[in-house]
Structure 1
Amino acid sequence: MAQLPFIAVEGPIGVGKTSLSKKIAAHFEFHLLKEIVEENPFLGKFYDDIEEWSFQTEMFFLCNRYKQLEDIDKKFLQEGKPVVADYHISKNMIFAQRTLKEDQFRKYSRIFDILTGDMPRPNMVIYLHAGLDTLFDRIRMRNRDVEANIQPEYLHQLSEDYETFMDHFENTHPDIPVIRLNGDNFDFVKHQSDLDYILEEIKAHMNKGEVIK
């Protein structure tokens, strides 16, 4: 059965999730859901000392994303209004598995399952990926203070984690369309033709009846 569009744009840090989400929202007149990033008071400390500050950082993100999805469900999805988000709630587990100690991860997983068990999940995913040079170029361009100390090793591991996660996601959710885009080859900010291609891909999936307009 076709569903109201709830699109998630996902990918590693710096790949352009928010920029693309904004353009999708403007083109299709969808509500834009943006994740809270710089407001996380632990994030700068996290990049300085991942082991020390990972649990606090991930719990802050989880609680805020839970609240965002709860609000989105009540104010938009239940009212028949489409949404595009610059994250998928499952991203929390990607980061948690990479950064948390084993005992912390067990606690975190239980909390995650409780909070998100009945939350709405996106029914279309756009997955952006890119090489480290592209990611670091874009991170430098947006010049966020909290991202100044991101290490290449961490970003490389995270990119690999995303690839593993998306492969698993496609295998376990064959009913949810995934549009994969290589950020090394697509620059939808500078090139309208690249953006047009992405918008047409989204429209094609909606026209197939996988999600309704």
Structure 2
Amino acid sequence: MERVPFIAIEGPIGVGKTSLAKAISAYFSFELLKEIVDENPFLGKFYTNKEEWSFQTEMFFLCNRYKQLEDLKQHRQPAVADYHIFKSLIFARRTLKTDEFEKFSKIYDILTADMPQPNVIIYLHASLETLLKRIEIRGRAFEKNMQETYLQKLSADYGRFMSRFEAEHPNIPVLKFDCDTLDFIRHEHDLKSMLQEIALTLQKGVHTHGTS
């Protein structure tokens, strides 16, 4: 049976996940699952006081990711998401207290037990300098309080997690793009080469509906 394409894009804050997801959605005519960020009522408070607001922040994100993926499961359309739900654990492990993380993990396991799983992962990574520049350019007010050390540790968390993910899921292709050398937002040729690599990966084992 041919698998319905489902691409998930991951990487640290500011690396360009949403921009690439929009480009992929337009190019392949895939449904776009876009993470709700600005609507999270706890996020601004989180960046000023992580200890106080981290659990509420992570639960809001987890529930919204769950709802989007539940909707996707109902109609099985080719889709691209600017997140993988596993990011909930990456952030929660970094921000929650031990007892809070244990509670969060139990809820995560219940919600994701029968989730639709991406069959292609795109991992975007970049240096701290590049991430900070891109965060500054997009100008989200609540991100002005983000500490550089938090972003640096989060990037390292992603690197470790992706290495473990590849080892545990050898049948799911992971495409890695270095966003220090690739600027697909400003340079059309960078985006084109990335889309071509994604198309080749899809053609190897996932049925697509063609490109626009």
Do both share a fold (TM > 0.5)?
A: yes
Aligned-partner residue type, residue 143 of structure 2: E
**Partner secondary structure for residue 62 of structure 2:** helix
Spell out, residue by residue over 1:149-185, the C-alpha distance to the aligned partner (whole angstroms, 9 max, x if none). 1100000000000000000000000000000001100
- Say yes or no: does 1:170 pair with 2:166: yes
Q: In the alignment, what sits opposite 1:19?
A: 19
Q: 1:45-84 to 2 correspondence within 5 Å?
A: 45-75=45-75, 77=76, 81-84=77-80
Question: Structure 1: how far apart are the matches of 2:100 and 2:2?
Answer: 39
Deviation of 1:2 after TM superposition, in Å, equals: 4.2
What is the percent sequence identity of the aligned residues? 62
Deviation of 1:145 after TM superposition, in Å, equals: 1.2
Unaligned runs of 5+ in 1: none
Spell out, residue by residue over 1:118-164, the C-alpha distance to the aligned partner (whole angstroms, 9 max, x if none). 11111101000001111011111111112111100000000000000
Q: 1:1-213 to 2 correspondence within 5 Å?
A: 2-75=2-75, 77=76, 81-209=77-205, 211-213=206-208
Question: Structure 2: how far apart are the matches of 1:62 and 1:192?
Answer: 33
Question: Structure 1: how far apart are the matches of 2:155 and 2:37?
Answer: 18
Spell out, residue by residue over 1:181-200, the C-alpha distance to the aligned partner (whole angstroms, 9 max, x if none). 01100001111111111111
Aligned-partner residue type, residue 173 of structure 1: H
Aligned-partner residue type, residue 85 of structure 1: A
Higher mean C-alpha displacement, 52-61 vs 1-10 = 1-10
Contact 1:38–1:146 (Cα < 8 Å) also in 2:
no
RMSD in angstroms over aligned alpha carbons?
0.9
Question: Structure 1: how far apart are the matches of 2:195 and 2:173?
Answer: 14
Unaligned runs of 5+ in 2: none
Question: Structure 1: how far apart are the matches of 2:207 and 2:45?
Answer: 43
Aligned-partner residue type, residue 129 of structure 2: D
Contact 1:32–1:84 (Cα < 8 Å) also in 2:
yes
**Partner secondary structure for residue 188 of structure 1:** coil
Question: Structure 1: how far apart are the matches of 2:150 and 2:104?
Answer: 20
Aligned-partner residue type, residue 197 of structure 2: E
Question: Structure 2: how far apart are the matches of 1:30 and 1:129?
Answer: 23
Question: Structure 1: how far apart are the matches of 2:122 and 2:175?
Answer: 5
Question: Structure 1: how far apart are the matches of 2:7 and 2:136?
Answer: 27
Residues matched between the structures, number = 208
Question: Structure 2: how far apart are the matches of 1:192 and 1:162?
Answer: 27
Contact 1:16–1:128 (Cα < 8 Å) also in 2:
yes
Question: Structure 1: how far apart are the matches of 2:158 and 2:22?
Answer: 22
